[in-house]
Structure 1
Amino acid sequence: MSSTGPSFPVSFSDIDVECWGGIKEDKRCEFAQAGEEVRGLLPDSMIHRWALDKANLKRANPEDGASKLYRPILDPYEFRLLELKPGEHNDALQGSLHHCSLELVAIESENNPITWRTPDEERYTWKFALPVNNLTAPMQYTALSYSWGPPVFEGKISCDGHEKAITRSLETALRHFRKEDCSVVFWIDQICINQDDNGEKESQIPLMSSIYRHSLNTVIWLGEASPGSDLAIRLLEDINVLLQFNNSSISPEDFERWGLPQADSESWKALWSLLGRSWFSRLWIIQEVILSTSPWAMCGYDCISWSKLSTSCYHLVTCGISRWLQQTQAPIQDARTRTNDQGDLCQLASGLGEVKEQCGQGQSGPPLLGLLVKTRHAQCYDARDRIYGLLGVCYHGDAAAVRVSYAQEYTAASLFHDMALHYLQPKPGSPINNVLTCVDHESPDLPSWVPDWRLPRETESLGYSSFSRNIYHATGTRSPPVSERVQITNIEERSQLSIRGILVDKLVRTSDQFIEPDLTYVNSLSENRALLAAYSFVSSNLDLFSPVKEHGVFSSFWHTLVAGQDAGGMVRCPESYAEIFSLLLDETTGQSPSLPDQTYSLRQLRPKGKGRLEVASLESRTAGRSFQDVRAALRRVTRNRRLGITSKGYLGLFPRYCKNGDLLYLVEGCHVPFLLRPAGDIEGGHRLVGECYVHGIMDGEALKLESADKADIVLV
């Protein structure tokens, strides 16, 4: 790391933002340097009038609080910055805390080059904070985004004569950032916020968006360098250039033609390892990246701009290489049957890049509920932060509805309950569908209809996405109407939700849960355990299918195993999936046909050697791609669900918590059916078990039943 850095210019007109605020040509990240004050910048009359109001705050003399590290924060716009003192790499860390204000903001306008407003303005021209002990001397700083690691504080830093314990990961980062000949200024949550003061944390959370927007830049600390991490960063740099004009799928056989490393290159392994670092799984990184003007990622002393990193991941997703990486980098030996709990690591960075670009165009932030759905995998130590960590980037109307409190009596369950009620208020769209399709757990401290954001989702939602409205129309062919009646009937506890729906059927038989379902054409007889389990369940209950023979056993079987969706869950599954299932089912069971009504395509009926579709054909590019699509769809929708058969003979996919006797309902305002369970302790009450797919009623067929009358339902 270079020991020199940029010095403060005399005025902001001297700043070359592209060069001065970010990365120099040697690609080493530069940080805001503490030094000469910015002079000649502020309009004296305006700044002094504003400063006089601040003088009325009775601030303690810094020397009076010498016995404590943290002096109180008195103003809603006040926060602290850390000045990291110079030193060599192994020297003890030394720093000083400065109290600053974010209330005054410089922005440009057509009539006035610089005007001064408060932080409700969206456009920030210059990046600085104002020290409260000298409101005319702007102070620039770098925000740090990093992974805390385990809450074990084995590192330390001396601040203003007080020793503060910090995590080892932060201590390592600061040693990499420290310069030998000058101080650098950071905002770091672990040090700049008194983490032992819940009241202070509550007051600082609303400032997060301003803190990151005012920072000169943001450095993302991925951790120390490891073998191959430099290769991974160079590969991301190359991908950003090599794939920028590509719109087609790329298979490993095409890598050389595109100038990419061979499929067995260590660079791919190193890339997946880099993207799997703990920083990418943190919840707080979402708003840190989105709000930052110039974020850069560092691993050891290697550096890459966030823009290049996220764009490269976007290219990897769109061309299909990320799916190949997910399949080949999992820790199981056979690449054709392996599973990977990490998911698509490229998708996270790519998605963050898209949201950041959207916010950068001045658009309103996305709904909080949508962000909660997308970030359910993310980690934080306090479950309430699953919501608080998104307030800086979500739609302002949702943020305003959130009560920020770390009080012991205001639990995460209370917060999640409040947010569910907020979203169930009458508004455009289908709020009840969006809330109910997020329910994925049985949590005793929550009403059954409130999603529990403490736990990562264990199933892929069938009905949440906007695409699903093009696939399912259980309550009619058009988009479901907003529910006519969504009311809270237990006013005191707000635990009972009154809705309207139609009772369709009852669940009478269920299979075992699909834990890690997969599909393979290698050793099908022994390895296709999920397909064999599904076949065994259906074949042993053929007598229950008689009431709905018009749907066909085989057609119900394969449609249900992909929930009627294609590989991406964006459109209905093509009928071509039938021949893949027919081929693999016979190969797995050793029978032909394996199920009643089973169909065979013309390719399957051709003579051997004459273009017949066989298991070996799935190694080819065209047939192999169809197989991979079927496999992806099956794995996605059946994981942690059960097959079930209803009393009327319908086959479907149901929540893992389902039981015989659970009731199948169509809910007004929703386009997928739900499974409900009578609550014996409350008259007329039902508990929500979850969303489901039932072949034969997903296009409004159940509305034609004689018993299809709407009735009030009370969810508890």
Structure 2
Amino acid sequence: MDELAELAQLMEKEFGPRVDSMYSTFPNRTSIRLLDVSQDLDPNDRIQCQIKIVDLNHAPKYSALSYTWGDPGANPDDEHIPPLPPGKDEYEILCDGHPLKVTKNCYAFLLSFRKAKATDTNHQSSRKNAEFIERTFSSYLIWIDAICINQSSLGERSSQVRIMDRIYRQAQQVIVWLGPSDSSTKLAVQVIANLANIPIKKCRELFMTSPLSTDPYERLGIPTISKKDFMSVKALLERSWFARSWTVQEYVLARDTVLFCGTLILPFRAVPDAARNLALLGWDHLLASLGDEDIEETDLKAEESVTGTTQMLRGLHNSKEDFFLGRATAKSSFVGAILSLHYLKRIQAEVSRERWLNTKDNIPLQMVLLATTHKQCFNPVDKIYAFLGLLPEASWDGLVVDYSMATQDVYIQATRAMMRATQSLSILSYVEERPLRTISDLPSWVPDFNAVRSPLPLDWGLTTYAETMIPISGQRMVFFNVSLSTPFSIEPNNDSNAKLSVKGMWYDKVVETSRFIPGNLQELAPLLDVITSFPRERLWRTLLADEHVIALDSNAPPVTFPAQEIDGQMFAYYLSQTQWLMLVELNSDPATIETHDDDSPENSGIPYALREYDVFEELIDPALNPIPRFMIDCYDPWIETLNLPQDIKERGLQRMAKALSVRMLDRVLLTTEKRRYGTGMMSTKKGDEIWVLAGAKVPYILRPKGYGEYEFVGEAYMHDIMYGEFVVEKEHVWSDITLV
């Protein structure tokens, strides 16, 4: 034995094997490592694995793990299966005889996985379940990112991320590990299985029935679900797996997916089926609210005896700003997030077709980013990289997966790549309000993809793929073209440039802004002079961005635009209901509503509800106002001008409430120098300018910085120019400006 070999042997005996020696170089770009988890522990009770390098081009058989590196979200105060001692974040395993540290959640999976392989079918009595477990755990090797990728090598991480879509697409099945089970997990799995089996038709028939009553369950054909049952489901669906970025790709690309939690196993397709049925029943909002500190038991029981309209209006009156900033809708976001996972699978058929035919078509990357905005990740660049495998390469041509790049540069490069792919400036509509940003020093025109984008854009970047649209709650289905598709260009070979040169037409300057909150209409008083100079229908068309939102027949095909007469009627009816609540409160106890922040002399002694009515009366067509001024003191809520069945009115009120909360979320009404009005982002202020940019579908608000440079503020809606009317006028010319 030579001296170097002898020294290596001595060092290994003293310090153990070198960890990095298990990671030999891959023979080619399509190689991956797979694990064979031994059923036997080593003498120190460590899990043992053997590593095998395979080539994806040779179609190896394996499973792939989808899990979270951090805390999976099991109840920390409960007993877990498998049990692990608290306070320890890493555990040691052996891979080819080399010690390797893995996270607590990964180690918990390996324990359960090893036990499932070792015990095979002993813990299940059903032959069907036994065959399912055997197929899941006994047939293949497994791929686990934290072990199979050398995490200390940026180069290897980047190269493996480039083929991540193939790793999950080619796996025989993807195992979704939600973490150890706790005392509520078994109940949650059973309830989800029951909900998933309800026929869709029955869910639609029982929309907005009470989930806390026993009546619906007989017709649904499932056991009654108690509050405790719902709480267990909520706890499971709020586990961290459902919130992470990388898990989206891992689920969407999978050919077959199984849910594994502790020792409990369920075909994963039951989860989106159950979420869909909860949404169709209208129970998702209640499910999300369970356990909130501000939700009392009596409030939940009231569901059984109070109509949906009254509940909704009470919620509006008691918490006007929360409701109309969309916070109530956001409470059920975890159900929507599960549904978006399911709908993202629709895109995969189109992606597979394009790859097979080697076409250069693309599906906008921002469509996927919009559906996954609430997903979380440790590394901000993964808010881009984690979703690239869902789309054809043409959708992100020019974007390089490189973990050595600064986050700012990755986001600039991604933004320019999306502009090229869509041949439009639609990605500018994804720029969020400045206070919401998490990445410092981003140019104003580059979205912070790591931030949660609360306002849904007027232009969300759809090109030609209407058949693959992702149903996102509240998304816009109207397609504007303010620039008449005027061509634009991006500087070649300059993707890291923090400035964006564009061509634009100046339209107008902002003079005044105000929020629109039913129940607090007095905020619009400074804008009334301009608003009332137009026909009254202009207001609701502007607030809805001229989109038709009220469908009287739930089975009728959707009409996306323009807004219809019924939308205006429902808008007036909706505002009148808020006025009625305020008038009832005024008549029952005037002292409770006479005070207001505005203590100006002209308002002194005037009850708040009456001042509110003054603005309401200015905004509503008299023919649609069910509360004439002479009836203020004796208003009867049954005297209504909207002649529709009660169930249709209730459904219409809910749709109108949702439409307004979504479209005006973090947006304001604005008036301009030329006495026009429209909507803009919350941060819009006096002196900002409204521009039409070449390649844009909607107008944008820019803030002048001098010398032809502008800070980007966000989208605008200006009713008379959304389809290119301003560009058609001959006297306007394009100017060269720069966004910084």
**Superposition TM-score, scaled by structure 1 size:** 0.73
Q: Give the one of 362, 368, 378 matched to 2:375.
A: 378
Matches within 5 A, 1:573-588: 573=563, 574-584=567-577, 586-587=579-580, 588=582
Q: How far has the Cα of 1:274 moved from its partner?
A: 1.9
Aligned-partner Cα distance in 2 for 1:399–1:493:
15
Corresponding position of 1:207: 163
Q: How far has the Cα of 1:189 moved from its partner?
A: 0.8
Aligned-partner Cα distance in 1 for 2:508–2:58:
61
Aligned-partner Cα distance in 1 for 2:290–2:725:
42
Letter of the 2:263 partner, please give it.
Y
Say if 1:212 and 1:345 are closer, same or farther in 2 by CA, change over 3 A.
same
Aligned-partner Cα distance in 2 for 1:542–1:550:
10
Corresponding position of 2:690: 664
Q: Give the one of 224, 230, 237 matched to 2:186.
A: 230
Q: Is contact 2:367–2:460 with CA below 8 Å preserved after alignment? A: no
Corresponding position of 1:279: 241
Cα-to-partner distance string for 1:659-699 (whole Å, 9 max, x where unaligned): 2100011223333221011123xx21222111122355445
Corresponding position of 2:504: 501
Q: Is contact 1:95–1:157 with CA below 8 Å preserved after alignment? A: yes
Q: How far has the Cα of 1:187 moved from its partner?
A: 1.2
Aligned-partner Cα distance in 2 for 1:492–1:205:
21
Say if 1:275 and 1:564 are closer, same or farther in 2 by CA, change over 3 A.
farther
Coordinate RMSD, CA, aligned: 3.9
Say if 1:572 and 1:87 are closer, same or farther in 2 by CA, change over 3 A.
farther
Say if 1:505 and 1:331 are closer, same or farther in 2 by CA, change over 3 A.
farther
Corresponding position of 1:154: 90
Corresponding position of 1:406: 403
Q: Give the one of 340, 347, 352 matched to 2:341.
A: 352
Matched, 1:439 2:460: no
**Superposition TM-score, scaled by structure 2 size:** 0.71
Corresponding position of 2:620: 598
Q: Is contact 2:712–2:739 with CA below 8 Å preserved after alignment? A: yes
Q: Is contact 1:562–1:630 with CA below 8 Å preserved after alignment? A: no
Q: Is contact 2:513–2:686 with CA below 8 Å preserved after alignment? A: yes
Q: Is contact 1:297–1:305 with CA below 8 Å preserved after alignment? A: yes
Q: How far has the Cα of 1:296 moved from its partner?
A: 0.3
Matched, 1:510 2:513: yes
Matched, 1:311 2:273: yes
Q: Is contact 2:680–2:716 with CA below 8 Å preserved after alignment? A: yes
Say if 1:244 and 1:578 are closer, same or farther in 2 by CA, change over 3 A.
closer
Say if 1:503 and 1:235 are closer, same or farther in 2 by CA, change over 3 A.
same
Letter of the 1:255 partner, please give it.
P
Q: How far has the Cα of 1:454 moved from its partner?
A: 1.8
Say if 1:433 and 1:318 are closer, same or farther in 2 by CA, change over 3 A.
farther
Q: How far has the Cα of 1:171 moved from its partner?
A: 1.7
Report the secondary structure of 1:463's partner residue: coil
Report the secondary structure of 1:435's partner residue: helix
Matched, 1:715 2:739: yes
Q: Is contact 1:155–1:167 with CA below 8 Å preserved after alignment? A: yes
User: Where does the alignment leave 5 or more consecutive residues of structure 2 unmatched?
Assistant: 1-8, 73-87, 121-136, 300-310, 316-322, 356-362, 467-474, 551-558, 583-607
Report the secondary structure of 2:670's partner residue: strand
Letter of the 2:576 partner, please give it.
L
Tell which has more relative contact order, 1 or 2 (C-alpha 8 A, sep 6+): 2
Cα-to-partner distance string for 1:426-476 (whole Å, 9 max, x where unaligned): x6xx5324211111144653332222212121322122164988646462x
Corresponding position of 2:196: 240
Q: How far has the Cα of 1:378 moved from its partner?
A: 0.9
Letter of the 2:338 partner, please give it.
A
Q: Is contact 1:672–1:691 with CA below 8 Å preserved after alignment? A: yes
Q: Give the one of 393, 397, 401 matched to 2:394.
A: 397
Report the secondary structure of 2:204's partner residue: coil
Letter of the 1:412 partner, please give it.
T
Matched, 1:612 2:639: yes
Q: Is contact 2:430–2:457 with CA below 8 Å preserved after alignment? A: yes
Aligned-partner Cα distance in 2 for 1:634–1:542:
19
Matches within 5 A, 1:392-471: 392-398=389-395, 401-407=398-404, 410-425=405-420, 431-442=423-434, 445-464=441-460, 466=462, 471=478
Corresponding position of 1:267: 229
Say if 1:411 and 1:493 are closer, same or farther in 2 by CA, change over 3 A.
closer
Q: Give the one of 80, 86, 97 matched to 2:39.
A: 86
- Structure with the higher fraction of residues in helix conformation: 2
Cα-to-partner distance string for 1:487-531 (whole Å, 9 max, x where unaligned): 43995963333333322211112236x8xxxxxxxxxxxxxxx32
Aligned-partner Cα distance in 2 for 1:358–1:424:
20
Aligned-partner Cα distance in 2 for 1:490–1:684:
23
Say if 1:351 and 1:444 are closer, same or farther in 2 by CA, change over 3 A.
closer
Q: Is contact 1:582–1:600 with CA below 8 Å preserved after alignment? A: no
Q: How far has the Cα of 1:400 moved from its partner?
A: 5.3
Corresponding position of 1:252: 209
Corresponding position of 1:42: none
Say if 1:584 and 1:712 are closer, same or farther in 2 by CA, change over 3 A.
farther
Cα-to-partner distance string for 1:193-228 (whole Å, 9 max, x where unaligned): 121221111121123223223433221011222343
Corresponding position of 1:488: 491
Corresponding position of 1:531: 518
Aligned-partner Cα distance in 2 for 1:73–1:650:
65
Report the secondary structure of 1:688's partner residue: strand
Say if 1:358 and 1:403 are closer, same or farther in 2 by CA, change over 3 A.
closer
Matches within 5 A, 1:313-352: 313-323=275-285, 325-326=287-288, 332-333=294-295, 336=312, 337=315, 339-340=327-328, 341-352=330-341
Cα-to-partner distance string for 1:211-266 (whole Å, 9 max, x where unaligned): 22343322101122234332332222223322244573522247332235657543
Aligned-partner Cα distance in 2 for 1:311–1:610:
40
Q: Give the one of 679, 694, 706 matched to 2:718.
A: 694
Report the secondary structure of 2:367's partner residue: helix
Corresponding position of 1:526: none
Letter of the 1:672 partner, please give it.
V
Q: Is contact 1:674–1:690 with CA below 8 Å preserved after alignment? A: yes
Report the secondary structure of 1:462's partner residue: coil
Q: Is contact 1:504–1:708 with CA below 8 Å preserved after alignment? A: no
Aligned-partner Cα distance in 2 for 1:171–1:193:
16
Say if 1:93 and 1:563 are closer, same or farther in 2 by CA, change over 3 A.
farther
Cα-to-partner distance string for 1:307-349 (whole Å, 9 max, x where unaligned): 2322332333345443554466755326743745454322322
Q: Is contact 2:63–2:173 with CA below 8 Å preserved after alignment? A: yes
Aligned-partner Cα distance in 2 for 1:679–1:490:
26
Letter of the 2:518 partner, please give it.
L
Aligned-partner Cα distance in 2 for 1:692–1:317:
31
Aligned-partner Cα distance in 1 for 2:662–2:160:
39
Report the secondary structure of 1:679's partner residue: strand
Q: Is contact 2:513–2:527 with CA below 8 Å preserved after alignment? A: no
- Between 277-286 and 704-713, the greater mean CA deviation after superposition: 704-713
Cα-to-partner distance string for 1:629-664 (whole Å, 9 max, x where unaligned): 121112212222233222233333321222210001
Letter of the 1:677 partner, please give it.
R
Report the secondary structure of 1:596's partner residue: helix
Say if 1:358 and 1:453 are closer, same or farther in 2 by CA, change over 3 A.
closer
Aligned-partner Cα distance in 2 for 1:90–1:619:
74
Aligned-partner Cα distance in 1 for 2:504–2:292:
44
Report the secondary structure of 1:203's partner residue: helix
Corresponding position of 2:673: 647
Report the secondary structure of 2:662's partner residue: helix
Report the secondary structure of 1:178's partner residue: helix
Aligned-partner Cα distance in 2 for 1:687–1:193:
42
Aligned-partner Cα distance in 2 for 1:439–1:312:
33
Aligned length: 591
Letter of the 2:621 partner, please give it.
T
Q: Is contact 1:89–1:178 with CA below 8 Å preserved after alignment? A: no
